[in-house]
Amino acid sequence: MTGYPQRPSAASLSYLQTANPPLHLAGAEESNPTYRRPCGYRHLEIIRASGNRPPLFCIFPGPPGSSEFLDLLPADQPSYDFYFTKLDGASNFPSVEQLALTFLGEIRKIQAHGPYQLCGYSKAGLVAYEIARILLSEGESVPFLALFETWHPGYEQHLTRSELVRFRLMHIADRLRKYGWNLTEGRFLDTVALVWKGISKRAKLFGWRVSRRVFRTASQPVPKGMQQAESIVVLKSFVPKPYPKRFVLIRTDDPFERKLKDPTLGWRVCATGGVDVHFVPGDQDHGTMMNKPHVRGVMEKIIPYLAEPLKR
């Protein structure tokens, strides 16, 4: 699964050595004091507007977004962010297809035609994937799509019964191993936080399943405490359509993930053009990959794939 159509440039490598209706999403400005939203854009946020390369559009579950790795990108690489951190009065979390169309409308205000460059982190990578797929279906050029630790939402559904049992047992063993490692290192509070995070997530999912019919029947917004569970269920229900070009998948170099039979995290079922899989250090934690210092490893993998500066 190697060999992306666009070969790394000498300039990129030397740089690494030296350095349908609009959806009402809100919340990024509340938690990111450095954001800049241009007039006329509801969701798009400027990280860097200058540069001769095709813009890089990044989609994240929440801040800090690409501002965390801006200083690692080439100085002539424009960058823009989208978040879907919170809902603003919506009764249901929007589908991946809705988010893709909404974000795409604002992307086209910045860049009317390709070449387009897109990336997405965690479940937000699903939206980046769908935007890129739509653009390709319309005949646009998408030379760069990168997903950062984004699992195919139907990964478990494509496993056989024995594979599913093995996967879940491996996951439990991995959790116990990490809890034990934290305890032996004296990180008791970190262990408690991990356990509580897992319990809280499952409790919210259970509460959402029990009560969602009530709120939908009453046409009432999903309570803020259940919005995360709503988003998880909606995003996991996304069924990706085939993607005809090769794209990049960056994964955490985690012992558990290394043991998975499918290195593409399930994307092989729809990535007809293939997937380039790269492993990077991430403190063996999904949540640290895009934070410094681990994000440097991510940038070292993707910068050689970025499009060259456009000729004027």
Residues 179, 194 contacting (CB under 8 angstroms):
yes
Side-chain half-sphere of 7: how many Cα atoms within 13 Å?
Answer: 2
**pLDDT band at 179, cuts 50/70/90?**
low
pLDDT, residue 202, reads: 60
Residue closest to 29 by CA, chosen among 46, 53, 8: 46
CA-CA-CA-CA dihedral for 266, 232, 238, 67, to nearest 10: -80
pLDDT, residue 157, reads: 76
Residues 247, 132 contacting (CB under 8 angstroms):
yes
Candidate from 26-30, 146-150, 283-287, 293-297 with smallest mean pLDDT: 26-30
* Tokens (6 digits) for 96: 């991946």
Residue closest to 309 by CA, chosen among 78, 58, 7, 68: 78
Q: 188 vs 41, which has greater pLDDT?
A: 41
Q: pLDDT tens for residues 210-267? A: 566 666 676 666 566 566 666 777 788 899 999 999 999 999 887 667 677 788 989 9
Which residues are within 8 A (CB) of 21 and not within 5 positions of it... i.e. 6 or more apart?
Answer: none
Residue closest to 133 by CA, chosen among 272, 2, 3, 262: 272
* Domains annotated on the chain, with CATH: 10-156+239-305 (3.40.50.1820), 161-234 (no CATH)
Q: pLDDT tens for residues 79-101? A: 999 987 554 445 567 889 999 99
DSSP bridge pairs for 46: 80
Percent of the chain with pLDDT over 90: 42
pLDDT, residue 54, reads: 95
Q: 67 vs 128, which has greater pLDDT?
A: 128
87 alpha carbon, distance to own chain's centre: 18
Average pLDDT value for the chain: 76
pLDDT, residue 298, reads: 93
Rounded-to-integer distance, Cα 176 and Cα 14, Å: 42
107-124: b or e for each residue (b if 16 or more CB lie within 10 Å)?
beeebeebbbbbbbbbbb
Backbone angles phi, psi at 187, to 5 degrees: -95, 65
Q: pLDDT tens for residues 52-66? A: 999 999 999 888 889
Q: 118 vs 293, which has greater pLDDT?
A: 118
Task: Choose the most confident range, by mean pLDDT, from 16-30, 165-179, 196-210, 298-312.
Answer: 298-312
Residue closest to 59 by CA, chosen among 89, 95, 36, 85: 85
Mean pLDDT over residues 292-307, rounded? Answer: 92
Q: pLDDT tens for residues 107-140? A: 999 999 989 999 999 999 999 999 999 999 999 9
51 alpha carbon, distance to own chain's centre: 24
* Tokens (6 digits) for 198: 């897992």
